[in-house]
Amino acid sequence: MAGDYLDHLQAAAEKALASLRRHAVPPTALNYSVWFTHHAGQSPALSRAIRELEERGEPLDEVRHLELAERFLGRAAQLERLQELVGKADGTLDAVAGELGGFRAHTAAYGATLEGAATTLEEGGRLDGISRLVAELRAATLAMRARADSLERELGRRDAELAALRVDLAKAEEAMSSDPLTGIGNRRLFDRALKKLAREAVEQGAPLALLLVDIDHFKRFNDTYGHPVGDLVLKLVAAKLAEKAQPPRIAARYGGEEFALLLPATDLAAAKALAERIRTEVADRELVLKSDGRRLGTVTLSIGVARFRPGEPLDAFLARADQALYRAKAGGRNRVECEGG
């Protein structure tokens, strides 16, 4: 049943945190995923490996956690598990906080009632037996309040641990969605953004345009000057696209020396004008090596431009942009072409 499954996941979450504390490793997304997967019984092979390491008394440090994650967990699966856990933990903590609030309110009201009863009895100076009973109940109330305080501290500790997990999750998501060399979005981010922006374009009845950008003769930079210069060229183009990609625009490295720029609320004419500005600004800048002052010439771009047609498959949208890019390269490079030629 759903309730039993949620209880199982919550128990696995608590055991995972306890295991991290026991082995004195930080609760990063990777480390947490290893233990949560183990305690949730989601990877028998991982659990077997952990048991063998523990039986041999080998230290389960951060390096070992990385090895286990690389061996038994995929990065995407890691994030999916962690996202599910954080969502469920959020709900659990909210429920606990609500119950704790109700518990404290109940004990406060109960305590107030007893205080009033005690005062009335003490003023009357009679019924010693009942007064003693009230005193005992008052002590019980104080104990209840102490328990509530303890629960509140525990909730605070759990909330802090969850906050750390959220931060680590955000870092992991960012790492999985960005290109490590240029710092802009990667293909994974592009694919997700394309689906989202296409859906919004249909819902809002707004245009959506796409630029596909290719660095002309990129191989020549690598072959002539070496890969460090090639990397510099990639970073230069990425920085120019990032400059033009203020939210909600999305810039991404599409693959190799190709880049993409998604332009919501932008029609074809405006997208073409932006593409021309990008092409011109990049071509007007001469590359000079800071180390020795060598002049490496200029970087030129070929750019294909297309607009999204509501209801069409996204592959068709991409294909039109790619065909326009092909025409730009076939037409001599260092130029912009729109869909339909």
Amino acid 6 reads: L
Question: Catalytic residue at 257?
Answer: yes
Q: What angle do CA 174, 177, 178 make, to 5 degrees?
A: 85
- The C-alpha atoms of residue 17 and residue 34 are separated, in whole angstroms, by 11
In the structure encoding, which two tokens stand for residue 178, read together? 């960005």
Sign of CA dihedral 60, 61, 65, 66: negative
The active-site residue out of 257, 258, 337, 339 is 257
In the structure encoding, which two tokens stand for residue 83, read together? 């996202």
DSSP 8-state code for residue 56: T
Contact 324, 268 (CB under 8 A): no
Amino acid 221 reads: F
Measured between alpha carbons, how far is residue 327 from residues 300, 301, 336 in Å? Answer: 15, 13, 9
Nearest to 249 by CA among 233, 271, 269, 232: 271
Residues labelled as active-site residues = 257
